[in-house]
A and B are shown apart, each in its own frame.
Chain A
């Protein structure tokens, strides 16, 4: 407790909410409010309607939502596999080599996503890999962008893991593959699910690289939101954004349930 007088404490808290509410709370509330409105030029939205949501349920928007979910699931699974494998391999390597692997796998965070998109566009529009115009290139881009986070979560979890379990199992004669499958991965499960949830959320919201490479028949939801707001349909865009946030949160919730059940095992 830093401020002891009651009045001063109240003043500090008032200042806190004066900063917090307009900056953090209002934006999310406003998007949710706007998604139910047809116009908003006063204190409250007017012309309450569900039309925007009914429009989502049919046509392109639903297709875009499904596209986003499929892309995010594929990218999340691929990123988790690659990130976990690399983190497990890095742990066994020498200090210098593992630092090199760290740098390599964290590099995509530093490279602008737009540039990742451009590089895939340049590389996969020419031989020997012709992927431009396929859904595959979008999934690859998302995987490249989110693998760093899977790698980082798993590496951090491995560092916290008690080596005694592993040594015990090995000392009792378990083969390395058995130790990995029956001891290490179950112990890592909470971190793995957290990592895959994070990768899914990142991929759901990815716009920069996607804008560079999406083919017309594989248009993820963020691009659809941009297209809607760009032609002035802000309220449709808001409803789409709410659908995006809700889907992401639902999946994160489902994933966190896996985690709690696993941690009692």
Chain B
């Protein structure tokens, strides 16, 4: 271990002592990494291993058979399509709604606007399934909207019966995830120079043109980062879909749950889980790339999740 020079050196070799300091720093990082490895990476590795282990085969025979089985199932392909379509739809909806609301709060201010934006932050601290529960009271078959309709028209049942369809999931996800878009947007809007807006307006630009030519280019990185994050969270969303209780809306997380807990088919669940991870992690890596480009000049090493402080993951 000791190099031949050590004996001769009267002062500590600077290169060596800085190397030993670096080693000590790496050592300090080890305990949390080891804990994470034990409770997160090791279980994930076991999931991957189990996904290659057919139930009837011996424990040592790795094969792609479980993947072939799952990929051939119509229910899996349907779940994949559902997951991607609702996630993309909810992301687009949340981006449009979040952009519209944030534009009004930031640039057409009214008393109480700031308080309202803080109120939406509350959503970030609440579990997602509460939204579905609320929508059941509002638009469910015996809910408020249908009750009003039957009271007014005297009809036997109301016109709204969409909560147990993909549209119900979409509405709940748009509601829940819009604040995730609004936060970084409001942060970005606060950086826009008012002078620029006034200059554009005094040169005769209409409000819509100012939004398009001055505000949007400034906010585009935040919009992209927020959208990518919401897309990942929507792909992983479970509570909203579970509470909707729709039999024909099965997404990948729900498929994992029903395979493992309801059917007891752990290998199948692991296969779906691995595919779901691949999809989500690829998108999350994309989000991190976009987000770190956004905050390129800033001193912060990690771009925060929602521009400001984060709230929950897809619970």
Question: CB distance B207 to A3 under 8 Å?
Answer: yes
Q: How far is the CA of A118 from the CA of B261 in the complex (A)?
A: 9
Size range of the chain A interface in the assembly: 35 or more
Main secondary structure of the interface of B (DSSP, over half): helix
- Provided the pairs A111-B281, A120-B39 are in contact, do residues A241 and B130 lie with their beta carbons within 8 angstroms? yes
Assess the B301–A102 pair: CB atoms within 8 A.
yes
Report yes or no: A2 in contact with B108, Cβ–Cβ below 8 A: yes
9-residue interface stretch from B8-16, B66-74, B161-169, B303-311: B303-311
Whether A43 lies near B147 (C-beta < 8 A) is: yes
In the complex, chain B residues whose CB is within 8 Å of the CB of A112: 235-236, 238, 252-253, 256, 273, 276-277, 280, 314
Contacts of A83 in B (CB 8 A): 32
Does any Cβ of B come within 8 Å of A133's Cβ?
A: no
State whether A205 and B302 are in contact (beta carbons under 8 Å apart), knowing that A115-B273, A143-B39 are contacts in the complex.
no
Give the most central of B36, B119, B310: most A CB within 10 Å: B36
Residue of B nearest to A89 (CB): B29
Which of B35, B232, B269 contacts A118, CB < 8 Å?
B269
Cα A83 to Cα B35 with chains together (Å):
11
Which of B122, B135, B313 is the one whose CB lies under 8 Å from A113? B313
Please state if A118 and B273 are interface contacts (CB–CB under 8 Å): yes
| Number of residue pairs spanning A and B whose beta carbons lie under 8 angstroms apart | 306
Residues from 17 to 42 in B contacting A, C-beta threshold 8 Å = 22, 25-26, 28-29, 31-33, 35-36, 39-40, 42
- Does B239 have its Cβ within 8 Å of any Cβ on chain A? yes
Interface contact B302-A152, CB-CB below 8 Å:
yes
Contact B313 A16 (CB under 8 A): no
Provide the bound-state CA to CA distance between A30 and B140, in Å: 12
Residue count of chain B within 8 Å CB distance of chain A: 102
Check A119/B43 contact, CB under 8 A, given A1-B109, A12-B108, A226-B242.
yes
- Say whether A2 contacts B210, CB under 8 Å: yes
A207-B43 Cα distance, complex, nearest whole Å: 19
**Quick check: A115 and B126 within 8 Å, CB to CB?**
no
A202 B312 Cβ-Cβ under 8 A: yes
Note all chain A residues with C-beta closer than 8 A to B89: none
* B92, CB-defined interface residue at 8 Å: no
Near B by CB (< 8 A), chain A positions 39-73 give 40-43
B269 touches A207 (CB 8 A): no
The smallest beta-carbon distance between A175 and chain B, in angstroms, is 14
B97, B109, B257, B311: the one within 8 Å of A202 (CB): B311
Chain B residues positioned under 8 Å from A212 (CB to CB) = 257, 260-261
Question: Across chains A and B, which 10 residue pairs bring their CB atoms closest together, nearest first?
Answer: A205-B127, A110-B284, A27-B134, A119-B43, A123-B43, A89-B29, A208-B238, A41-B147, A112-B236, A86-B32
Binding site for B on A (CB under 8 A): 1-4, 9, 12-13, 15-16, 19-20, 22-28, 30-31, 33-34, 40-43, 82-83, 85-86, 88-90, 92-94, 97-98, 101-116, 118-124, 140, 143-145, 147-149, 152-153, 155-156, 159-160, 194, 198, 201-202, 204-209, 211-212, 222, 225-226, 229-230, 234, 237-238, 241, 244-245, 248-249, 252
Q: Told that A112-B277, A114-B238 touch, could you supply 9 new A-B pairs with CB distance under 8 A?
A: A1-B109, A2-B107, A19-B97, A27-B131, A43-B151, A89-B28, A105-B36, A106-B288, A113-B236
